């Protein structure tokens, strides 16, 4: 059974989404982010993020901060990387949307994670093994 929390409606209203944007020049916007339980019991949670693909056809990555220490909320940024010229995917055939996922095992802070994109930030609390 898949367990998911969608923040799509929250992001459209802008209420829980912090308006502070990423300071990176290669930051990417997102319009949906959710936490899902792994398909196999006991494998933890995954962060799944989607949104419009960058106009330049760049590759999208989820980039966690790996600073020393344990922050309350580990930051995970959505960034773009230029595609190699020989990657076999011409610009005119680049997908209109992206979807990326990442396991959160060992990556969350003491309280959870904070997703940072071009259009804002969203915190996910991971209290006592549950999320809200």
Does residue 76 form part of some domain? yes
Written as tens digits, the pLDDT of the chain (132 aa) is: 333 434 444 444 343 445 555 567 889 999 999 999 877 766 788 999 999 999 888 899 999 998 778 899 999 999 998 766 555 555 556 688 999 999 998 888 999 999 999 999 999 998 755 554
With beta carbons less than 8 A apart as the criterion, state whether 95 and 53 touch. yes
Helix (H) or strand (E) holding 71: none
Does residue 89 form part of some domain? no
Global pTM?
A: 0.73
Residue 1: per-residue pLDDT: 30
Residue 77: per-residue pLDDT: 96
Residue 11: per-residue pLDDT: 43
Does residue 129 form part of some domain? no
Does residue 115 form part of some domain? yes
Residue 8: per-residue pLDDT: 47
Does residue 88 form part of some domain? no
By C-alpha distance, which of 38, 33, 44, 46 is closest to 6?
Answer: 33
Does residue 41 form part of some domain? yes
How many domains is the chain partitioned into structurally?
Answer: 1
Residue 10: per-residue pLDDT: 46
Residue 39: per-residue pLDDT: 75
Does residue 18 form part of some domain? yes
Residue 15: per-residue pLDDT: 37
- Could you list the residue range(s) of the whole structural domain that residue 100 is in? 4-82+94-124
The dihedral over CA atoms of 123, 74, 60, 101, expressed in degrees to the nearest 10, equals: -80
């Amino acid at each position: 059974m898949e367990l998911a929390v969608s923040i799509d409606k929250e992001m459209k209203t802008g209420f829980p989404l912090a308006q502070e944007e990423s300071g990176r020049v290669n930051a990417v916007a997102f319009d949906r982010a959710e936490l899902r339980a792994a398909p196999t019991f006991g494998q933890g949670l995954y962060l799944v993020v989607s949104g419009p693909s960058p106009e330049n056809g760049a590759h999208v990555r989820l980039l966690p901060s790996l600073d020393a220490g344990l922050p309350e909320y580990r930051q995970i940024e959505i960034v773009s990387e230029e595609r190699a010229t020989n990657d076999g995917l011409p610009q005119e055939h680049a997908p209109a949307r992206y979807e990326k996922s990442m396991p959160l095992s060992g990556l969350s802070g003491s309280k959870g994670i904070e997703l940072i994109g071009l259009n804002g930030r969203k915190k996910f609390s991971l209290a006592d093994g549950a999320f809200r």
